[in-house]
Every structure is written in C-alpha cells, then in structure tokens.
Amino acid sequence: MARFKFHKLAAVAVLAATAAWIATGEFSSVGSAARQEEPSETAAPERPVVLKTVQAAVPPRLEHARTIRVSGQTQADKSAILASRTGGIVEDLPVDEGSQVKEGDLVMRLETEGKEAAVESARQALAQREAELRAAERLAESGNLASLQLDVARANLASARSALEQAQAELDRVEVRAPFNGVVDKVHIEQGTALMQGGEVVTLLKLDPIVAVGEVSERDLGTIKPGDMADVRLVSGETLRGKIRYVSRAASPQTRTFRIEVVVPNPDLRIPAGMTAEIAISTDSVETVAVPRSVVTLNHEGELGIRAVNEAGEVHFFPIDIVDDTPEALYLAGIPEGVRVIVAGQDLVTEGEKVKIAEADQATLRELADAADTAEQGH
C-alpha cells in the first residue's frame, strides 16, 4: 500500500513540473534558435541569376491605309418588269431575250381593235366644235347671238378636246415602250397571245453602270462615305475601279450590317448581274509598323499587344490597334517610335522582368523589311 502511494505521488510531481515548464514558453526556441543565431559553416553559396534571352528589333514605320474587304455580288443599276396597260391580242413583239433597247423603243404592241378609228372620229368632232365656236364668236360680236349660246359653244369645244385626249390615251395603251436604256433579260409572252391588263411583258435590266452590293460592319461604317473609291474584284479575277454611291443609314435587323453600293462603268454590258464580287475599300492612311503575326501576344488580362524591351533590358507591354491584316504582315498602330519589339521569346517573359537582349536574326529582319517594301509598293 505504501509503495503504491509513492508511485502515485511521483507521477503527480512530474506532471506539475511539466506544466510549469510549458507555461514559461521557452521550449519553442530550444535548439532551433541556437542554430539560427550561429551561421552554418557548411551553407551553400548563392547561385547567380540567369536572365532569359529574347530577340528584339525596331520594326519599320510607314503610312498605311487599311483595306475594308466586303463580300457581295453585282446587280443591275435598274430592273423593271414591263406590264401591259390594257387587254388585247399581241400584234407586234419586236424584241427577243438579250436585245438591247433605247429609252422610248417599242417593246410590244397590241391589236388596236378600233381604237385608231375612235381617235380619228374624236379628231373630226373637235374640228367641228372649233368651227362652231368661231362662228358663234362672230355672231356674238355683231350682236346676233346671245352670250349664253356662246358659252355653250365653248363648252362643246372643251368636251371634244377631252374626248380626243381619252381616245388617244386608249390607243397609246396598246403599246409598251422601254422606260430606259437596257437589255431585255426575259420575254414573258409570245406574239398572238391574249394579254390581260397588267400582264407581264418583258424584264428589262440596265447594266451600265453595273452595281456591286455588299454589307459593312458597324465598326467600319464610320470610315466610308459616298464618293469614296473602291476596287471590285470579280470571281473571274478581274478587278475594276468604282465609286461608292450609297451607304445605308439603317442596319439589317438580322446581321447588324449596313448595305453599300459601288457603281462600276460597264459600257459593253459584259459584266452580268448576280456575279460574286469582293469590294475593297481603302481608308485614310495612318502611321503604322509592319510586323509578323507571331509578334502579337496577350498579357495576363487578355489584352492584345506586343512586348518590348528598353535599354535596361526591362520588358514592357504595349496595347495595339490592328489597322490591317494582309498576307504579308500585320499593320499596327499604338506602338511608340523607336520601341524595340520582342520578335522571339515574347511569350516566355512577363512585364517588368529583366532579360538579355539579342538582335533579331537575319530571317526575321528580312521578313520585316519585305513587309514594309510590299506595303510601300501597294500604296
């Protein structure tokens, strides 16, 4: 019993001593503090910083006009379906599909069916009424005719003139004439056909000038205006020069694009309507730099631009505005003059990082020079 009590007392004493030691907080620095205060004789020496190497070059600066390219098609300057103004039998049809006509040329005539005789009768009646009025005026001047009878003669003359005009108008309706110079694209009737009033006769197209029609985006709308020149490249490979005559001020609800029309001379009528065409419009020239596409990169915020280095070898990011994208190069605005653009390794460095600068290799420099030469020759 005495032995058991001794062990029990010893355990309580050890527990109390341990609690007191923990309360002092000195255990946290045992060993580790001493090692930190005394430098280790076996610590490894610091390694030298190795800078990344990038290639940089100052790109050529030049004046460049951005080209807006629009897909479209050719259309006739005017298109009309000529219709009969009265009913009857087709007596004369002097045109065929493909015929060229001048304004006022006869396109179709119906049988007159007594309309010419009606005109002649109205003309004779008018002559009689004119003679009656002259006689009435002489009698009225001599006092042998009442003024009321003179008014009746004048009314009869006016009625005769109206009757002649109506008869002549009815006769004129048997003919259909060309309202403008053009080409007969389709003939809808045959000679001898019984035609009702409003029946289609021919489709007439005016192909000189020919019109190239396309749609431009909202972003490009502010850079073009009527009167600007444009190049129209046909599907055959031929390129023609024309002038913008119309820019819509209302967007298409489906595409949010705006219709434009470019008129191109077509005196020999060899360019048909409905041919696929590409419209190229050059905007005002701005100062740009010509660089390969591979130079453009993104920063950590997803902004498009280029990375460049200063004399101290520090990397900087410059946001850009792509003025034009051609097969030869990208033409960028927003790059300060004299900036050394990183042309190799730009995706491996970040803004503010120090790098080792190497001059761009001959192939890259040649690519930059060729892009600039091509742009100068094109403008």
Q: Where are the domains of the chain?
A: 54-64+286-378, 69-76+206-285, 80-201
pLDDT (mean) for 9-30: 57
Residue 302: which H helix or E strand, with range? none
pLDDT at 352: 84
Q: Global pTM?
A: 0.60
pLDDT at 9: 58
Least confident of 261-265, 338-342, 375-379: 375-379
Express each pLDDT in 78-100 by its tens digit.
Answer: 999 999 998 889 999 999 999 99
Percentage of the chain lying above the pLDDT 90 cut: 28
DSSP labels for 122-145? HHHHHHHHHHHHHHHHHHHHHT-S
pLDDT at 36: 46
pLDDT at 23 > cutoff 70? no
In angstroms, rounded to a whole number, what is the distance separating the alpha carbons of residues 199 and 81? Answer: 10
pLDDT at 243: 94
Structural domain 80-201, CATH architecture: Beta Barrel (2.40)
Q: What is the CATH number of domain 54-64+286-378?
A: 2.40.420.20
pLDDT (mean) for 275-293: 85
pLDDT (mean) for 157-181: 88
pLDDT at 42 > cutoff 60? no
| 345 vs 72, higher pLDDT | 72
| 180 vs 349, higher pLDDT | 180
pLDDT at 2: 45
Least confident of 4-18, 87-101, 115-129, 241-255: 4-18
pLDDT band for position 37 (cuts 50, 70, 90): very low
pLDDT at 345: 76
CB 87 within 8 A of CB 196: yes
pLDDT at 257: 92
pLDDT at 30: 41
| 19 vs 125, higher pLDDT | 125
| 16 vs 310, higher pLDDT | 310
pLDDT band for position 195 (cuts 50, 70, 90): confident
| 32 vs 280, higher pLDDT | 280
pLDDT at 26 > cutoff 70? no
Produce one character per residue of 211-235: b if its CB has 16 or more CB atoms within 10 Å, e if not: bbbbbbeeebbeebeeebebbbbbe
Q: Which residues contact 46 (CB under 8 A, 6 or more apart)?
A: none
Q: What is the CATH number of domain 69-76+206-285?
A: 2.40.30.170
In the chain the first and final C-alpha atoms are separated, in Å, by 114
User: DSSP character for 361?
Assistant: P
Least confident of 16-30, 138-152, 213-227: 16-30
In angstroms, rounded to a whole number, what is the distance separating the alpha carbons of residues 106 and 154? Answer: 38
Percentage of the chain lying above the pLDDT 70 cut: 82
pLDDT (mean) for 150-156: 84
